[in-house]
Amino acid sequence: MADLPTDTPASSEAPSLPEKRILTKHDLAEFQDSEAYAQYIGFIEALNQAVLGRKLTEACHESEITQALVKLLGTVSDLATATPPLQTDGRFGNPAFRTFYDGVHDQATSWVEPLLRGSPKLRDDEERAAAAREVAGYLQESFGNRERIDYGTGHEANFMAFLLCLVRLDLFTVTDHPALVLRVFHRYLRVMRQLQFGYWLEPAGSHGVWGLDDYHFLPFLFGSAQLVGHRYIKPKSIHDAETVQEFAKDYIYLASIKFINEVKTASLRWHSPMLDDISGVKTWDKVNSGMLKMYLAEVLGKLPIMQHFLFGTFINFVPSRRHDGEEEEEEEEVIEAPNASPITTGGAPNPIPPKSYGGQALIRGQDGHTYTIIAGKRIRINTGADHCSHDHSVDGADPLDHVYAKGQEAPTCCGMRIPSAIGAAQQGARGGVRRIPFD
């Protein structure tokens, strides 16, 4: 994996506010074949390469701008501290997050503009001010969604895009790459844990037990890179509580395992089977290369995530939209079937066997509706239910049949808002387990 060249020229267009441009699967496919995609992946690979075998606690080159970024993230943390969560009975994200988000929105440009003063590509104050507004757009979207009060890997990707904009403005050199992970990204991760704990951010696009983490992916990529070549800590060491506790301060991967264990019940095998499976890999080299492939497929290759990715002049991608002659999507037929039960979800493994309607297997689409295929045509089945058909009951069930976050009475599930596992754990710590109904 080669280092990302830092002298790549930015777009010649005037800076503008970044916007979402991936709306369809066709757009996503075009993006994956674009220069912007190559630049983003090259940046991620360069950072991954830069932290091979390196601890969080070891010394590394810290330039003026990397120190300024750490300070900026400290300012974000201070803003969150000054915006305490509201006392509510809500089971989802705390509405005080919106006040915090508005504060970031109002101040982001003024935080970013001083960072750009060292860019040789910005000729005057006017250009710098315009560039600051564009770059600040990525920073604003790095901390979650204001309306849904949620956070996921798409927001994490926008933070990396924020850093990539600074790369495009020639503000970093290759010697900054280790600090961008060990200092800047790690500080960002700490800020996000603060927000997740404080505002009970809902996981955006979580795969539940079939994901790595309810919120993040990159800590496992960069964290596995840190552990490459370690003489004693092996992938299976994540099951040793003493090892995790002792070395979480040095390695992002172990810190992430520690975090997950603190907010979820049972063993890693049950609440995080993906991480449990990965622990069976022999070397960290293989874990790291597998994580990179997984990031490309499960984050950058997923439309529900990438439709929130932002583009402007520094990360420039303009989809062609529809090709001439491309067929419009057929209008779907709807069958009223109130007794039918939607069962499967596309993508994630499902422990419950599929049911059927009229002998046809039912599937749940990404839009939350239930479908079947009859004579090659997609038919929507109106079940009259606004919840999934998974059996969430716990009475008389084997305790290993379901996996819960601490305090939760139902697992993460199909197409529904997912309450914060952190919030549920904190409610339990206050005395007694609080039921979190799903309706």
For the stretch 187-216, pLDDT in tens is 999 999 999 999 999 998 655 545 688 899
Does the pLDDT value for residue 355 go beyond 60? no
- Beta pairing class for 202-203 and 150-151: parallel
Q: Given pLDDT bands bounded at 50, 70 and 90, which one contains residue 265?
A: confident
Phi (first) and psi of residue 382, to 5 degrees: -90, 100
Kindly report which listed range (84-98, 109-123, 256-270, 410-424) carries the lowest average pLDDT score.
410-424
Residue 363 three-state SS: strand
Does the pLDDT value for residue 367 go beyond 90? no
Global model pTM greater than 0.85: no
Domains defined for the chain, CATH in brackets: 19-311 (1.20.120.1150), 333-382 (no CATH)
Both tokens assigned to 248: 């979480």
- Work out the percent of the chain whose per-residue pLDDT is above 70: 67
More confident residue, 264 or 426: 264
Both tokens assigned to 299: 């984050």
Mean pLDDT of 289-303: 95
Q: How far apart are CA 379 and CA 371, in angstroms?
A: 5
Both tokens assigned to 414: 């199909």
- Beta pairing class for 19-20 and 310-311: antiparallel
* Amino acid 418: pLDDT: 55
For 402-433, the pLDDT digits (tens) are 333 333 333 334 444 555 666 555 655 554 43
Mean pLDDT of 31-42: 98
More confident residue, 376 or 297: 297
* Amino acid 273: pLDDT: 86
More confident residue, 255 or 384: 255
Does the pLDDT value for residue 344 go beyond 50? no
* Amino acid 270: pLDDT: 78
Q: Given pLDDT bands bounded at 50, 70 and 90, which one contains residue 323?
A: very low
More confident residue, 432 or 263: 263
Q: Given pLDDT bands bounded at 50, 70 and 90, which one contains residue 391?
A: very low
Kindly report which listed range (58-67, 328-337, 354-363, 374-383) carries the lowest average pLDDT score.
328-337
Q: How far apart are CA 127 and CA 7, in angstroms?
A: 19
Q: What angle do CA 58, 186, 128 make, to 5 degrees?
A: 110
Q: How far apart are CA 245 and CA 259, in angstroms?
A: 10
**Residue type at position 22:** I
Does the pLDDT value for residue 368 go beyond 80? no
Both tokens assigned to 387: 């919840």
